[in-house]
Structure 1
Amino acid sequence: MKLGFLIAFLLAAHAQAADFDLLITDARIADGSGGPLVQGSIAVKGGRIVGIGQVKGSAEAVIDAGGKVAAPGFIDVHTHSEDICLIPAAENFLRMGVTTIITGNCGHSRTDVAKFFQEIEESRVALNVATLIGHGSVREQGMGGSFIRAPSDEQLATMKNLVDQAMKDGAVGLSTGLIYVPGSFAKTDELIALAKVAASHDGIYVSHMRYETVRIFEALDEILRIARESKIRAEVSHIKLSGPTAWGKAQEVLAVLDKARADGLKITHDQYAYTASSTGLRQTLPDAALEGERADFVARISDPKKKAEIIAKMAEMRARQGREDYGYAVIARCRADPSLNGKTIPEAAKVRRGSDSLEDQIEVILEIETQGGASAIFHGMNEDDLQAFLKHPLTMVASDGGPRRLGEDVPHPRSYGNNARVLGRYVRELKLLTLPEAVRRMTSLPAQTFHLKDRGTLLPGAHADIVIFDPDKVTDPSVFSDPHHYAEGFTDVIVNGGVTIRDGKLTEVRSGGPLRMEH
């Protein structure tokens, strides 16, 4: 009995002997502030950082960083991840260092935030997931299928209640997608009314603005008015200039935003590191053609007069953008005909109709929409503008992507490589940003902007979201023609103290979950 007691005592003493759950040693620490890297260790206990620098003590687990960089887990403020529960490991995000995502962007979200968060908990999601409440989704639920008008007082009250409840349930703000139906039909006063509700909960207003083309200054006027009259923090989603007619105006755009900040508005912006966007192919069609159900669209193009009006509007849209045809658009996912995935619209027209004429390109676009639509990649931006926006100190790094399954469709490579591309191309190769500054744009700046408490920094008391990477080896092998490749150079990823990537391998640990706005 005495021997058994002694063994039990020694085992208990050993279990209590470790000072920390995890100790990361020999790291070059980028703490998220933008300051110089510091050699040292990071100690984690109970999911929080409890020591940093020259840490002494024992640990249940030790990761020897071997001189690699340790940084706060990256925060991707612009994702479309409403389907995160279907792909809970979200490996494409983890493998480029992302430990927190914000979904519900561009006006599209789950409107029952409490239920969404419950599903995230039940699905054992590997990441931290915050959400915005999407204006378009709220408008659709509040107004039904009739959108080309202002809401009635009763409908606006319903929409306000939906936003209010979502904010109470933990949403971080309100998003709009003002190039998408039904948001495109909303007037500014409606947006102000809903933004005021989000502001009352200390939320942020995040907008895919009405125009990103040569008319971008009209859109900037609108977002600044909303921020001013709603007394709300504002965020310009995926800041860009689309179409040749808009190229070269980046400094003018930034000057407008800098002046607004000087006048007292709190406004920031995010950006992905590619000169192509991705959204529904239906964005090549005029908004009025898309009101209602798909059957309504089919009826419109079956009417020769209405079809001619739609085609004429498409011509006006091309002219504003400086486009002669649709060769800049590549089909990413066409459910009705997956053989078109990866093909440009002219190539799809050649396959479907035997001709790549402009007329046949238009017919293919209309035909695809009648059959359920498609997502597409649009090569519409200029590298000089991209770099000008990226250099601005208030531009955050965000993918505009979502969770991906390897080999499925031909999606935009940003969902696999965005953060790696910034660190590899724009930091290491072009030296557009320093490494500590790039890390700040991915960590503390997003956390501060979206009021994510105790995130985005490596400081005692912060949640232990940590990424370890080799800055000399970080790269993004995912490309437009062959997108399904994970980012490289990230060896270890920790979420809330749980090691989800260890020595380059995905573990079974799922330590993420819903990230609610703290009021």
Structure 2
Amino acid sequence: MRIHSVIGLLVFAMMTACMENKAVESAKQTFDIVILNGRVIDPESNLDAVRNVGVLDGKIALITERPIMGKDTVDATGHVVAPGFIDLHAHGQNLGDYRMQVMQGVTTMLELESGVLPIDAWYDAQAQKNLPVNYGASAAWTFARIATFSDTEPQATPAYFQDAQKETDWKMKIASPQQMDEILDYVRQGLDQGGLGIGINAGYAPGYGAKEYYALAELAADYGVATFTHVRYASNLEPQGSFEAIQELIANAAITGAHMHICHLNSSSLKDIASTLELVEAAKARGINITVGAYPWGAASTVVGAAMFSGEGWRERMGSTTHNFQLGV
């Protein structure tokens, strides 16, 4: 046992020395870019310390405490050096918003909750703009519903969605079997054209049928992509409360095996957040493939005419008053 222990220590010492020698050799090379003296945060390894970073051929080649040299040098003293942030819920898909996001460390902006259709047209338009960030979008279920109920072709613009708020059929009516086939065909086309998932902005069309939502979950499972859902109800009261809406999502995830993401759980749950969190935590404990997003501020914005503000008693259901609202342009 003692001999084995000594051999083990020798092997460990040799491996450590080899690693140190490689680190020294790497530190001596010249990198394309070096970022010096920054507080390096790496979520994958839980590193949080002052380090120097060497970039070579567009990739991070070395993170070290040793001095390193590069063709270009960035002094990051007093700053944080971290991987770029990914925004899953970015509606501002325009150059001005992209620039604002880059200033805050965001390097990828994804329109996943709402999505767009047609996807290929949107990607083509984005590719012409020489954008400073990575981008992507989901296949938009709401766009598919608008197109189906209004007998129009979907347009990959915010105006297409905003102008449709004046109509009610796509928001509140159950789709016929033929209409549901058309809706699913539109979503399927979006996925085939490179949609990153299925955007289900259900809060804007809460009158859909349970079978339609289930079919979307099945479609996501078949394609191996996630759904990104703004759940259909935002209410502290039952029936048709936030608890029911989130329970519906969890049930579909459990039955189909689809990965289903709940967008802004906090604002959709309103004051019933304690109950909906219990649902989410219980589902995750049982291995149901759901994830959750939340934003940390108390304000929200939406389009005038949104379905969540229609019908009698919506203020009571949301626990809201006129003092909670501000109109903007």
Verify: 1:46 aligned to 2:18, yes or no.
no
One-letter code aligned to 2:150: G
Partner of 1:229: 255
CA distance in 1, matches of 2:289, 2:308: 34
Aligned residues of 1:138 and 1:159 also touching (Cα < 8 A)? yes
Alignment match, 2:209: 187
Aligned to 1:130, which of 136, 146, 149? 136
Residue 319 of structure 1 is matched in structure 2 by 316
- The equivalent residue for 2:149 is 143
* Alpha carbons of structure 1 residues 170 and 242: separation in structure 2 relative to 1, 3 Å: closer
Name the structure 1 match of 2:179: 155
The letter for the 2-side match of 1:162 is Y
The match for 1:196 is 218
SS of aligned partner of 1:59: strand
SS at match of 2:184: helix
State the shift of 1:144 in Å.
Answer: 2.1
Query: What pairs with 1:232-271 in structure 2 (closer than 5 Å)?
Result: 232-241=258-267, 246-247=270-271, 249-271=272-294
Return the letter of the residue paired with 2:327: I
Distance 1:186 1:117, change over 3 A: same
Distance in 2 of aligned mates of 1:177 and 1:152: 20
**Whole-angstrom distance in 2 between the partners of 1:157 and 1:46:** 48
| Contact 2:110–2:135 (8 Å) recurs in 1 | yes
C-alpha displacement of 1:110? 2.1
Q: Select the residue among 31, 37, 40 that pairs with 2:48.
A: 37
Show CA shifts across 1:70-101 (max 9, x none).
Answer: 111111111113x42xx267221112211111
Instruction: Give the Cα separation in 2 of the matches to 1:48 and 1:31.
Output: 15
- TM-fit CA distance, 1:223: 0.7
**Offset at residue 55 of structure 1 (A):** 6.4
With over 3 angstroms needed to count, the CA separation of the structure-2 counterparts of 1:57 and 1:234, relative to structure 1, is same
2 CA distance for matches of 1:143 and 1:331? 29
SS at match of 2:305: helix
* Residues 453-479 of structure 1: CA deviation (Å, up to 9, x unaligned): xxxxxxxxxxxxxxxxxxxxxxxxxxx
Task: Kindly indicate whether the alpha-carbon contact (under 8 Å) linking 2:243 and 2:275 is maintained by their aligned counterparts in 1.
Answer: no
Determine the structure 1 residue equivalent to 2:197.
173
Amino acid at match of 1:125: L
State which of 301, 310, 325 in structure 2 corresponds to 1:329. Answer: 325
**Aligned partner of 2:226: which letter?**
I
Instruction: Give 1:321's aligned amino acid.
Output: M
**Aligned residues of 1:104 and 1:131 also touching (Cα < 8 A):** yes
- Give TM-score scaled by structure 2 length: 0.77
- The answer to whether 1:66 aligns with 2:77 is yes
CA distance in 2, matches of 1:278, 1:34: 37
Counterpart position of 1:282: 305
Partner of 1:164: 188
What is the Cα-based RMSD across aligned positions, in Å?
2.5
Q: Which runs of 4+ in 1 moved over 6 A?
A: none
Q: Give runs of aligned pairs for residues 352-367 of structure 1, distance below 5 A.
A: none
Q: Distance in 2 between matches of 1:45 and 1:195?
A: 42
Equivalences for 1:204-223 in 2 at 5 Å? 204-214=226-236, 215-223=241-249
8 A Cα contact 2:234 2:318, kept in partner? no
Cα distance in 2 between the residues matched to 1:202 and 1:318:
39
CA distance, structure 1, for counterparts of residue 278 and residue 45 of structure 2: 23
- Distance (Å, rounded) in 1 between the aligned partners of 2:286 and 2:96: 43
Query: Paired residue for 1:379?
Result: none
Report the secondary structure of 1:197's partner residue. Answer: helix
Percent identity reads 23
Residue 272 (structure 1) shift? 1.5
- Tell me how far 1:202 sits from its aligned partner: 1.6
* Unpaired runs of at least 5, structure 1: 1-17, 288-312, 334-519
Distance (whole Å) between structure 2 residues aligned to residue 186 and residue 157 of structure 1: 14
Indicate the SS of the match to 1:174: strand
Structure 2 gap ranges (5+): 1-28, 152-168
Are the equivalent residues in 2 in contact too, given 1:88–1:126 (CA < 8 A)? no
Structure 1 Cα separation of the partners of residues 186 and 60 of structure 2: 37
* Matches for 1:337-352 after TM superposition, within 5 Å: none
> How many Å apart are 1:170 and its aligned residue?
2.3
Q: Which residue of 2 is the match for residue 293 of structure 1?
A: none
Q: 1:99 aligns with which of 87, 107, 130?
A: 107
Secondary structure of residue in 2 paired with 1:29: strand
Partner in structure 2 of residue 25 of structure 1: 36
Written as runs of structure 1 = structure 2, the 5 A alignment for 1:459-498 is none
Determine if contact 1:212/1:240 at 8 Å carries over to the other structure.
no
Residue deviations 1:293-340, cap 9 Å, x none?
A: xxxxxxxxxxxxxxxxxxxx34x11222334x412100121xxxxxxx
| TM-score for both structures, normalised by structure 1 | 0.50
8 Å Cα contact 1:177-1:209 kept in structure 2: yes
SS in 2 for 1:332: coil
SS at match of 1:271: coil
Distance 2:308 2:282 in 1: 34
- Residues of 1 paired with 2:262 and 2:183: CA distance? 22
Work out the CA distance in 1 between the residues paired with 2:308 and 2:242.
19
Higher relative contact order (CA 8 A, sep 6+): 1
SS in 1 for 2:32: strand
Does the C-alpha gap of structure 1 residues 242 and 94 become closer, same or farther in structure 2, counting only changes over 3 Å?
same
Query: Do 2:264 and 2:293's aligned partners in 1 also have CA atoms closer than 8 Å?
Result: yes
Matched residue type, 1:219:
A
Q: Closer, same or farther in 2 for the Cα pair 1:153/1:56, shift >3 Å?
A: farther
In structure 2, distance between residues paired with 1:242 and 1:92: 26
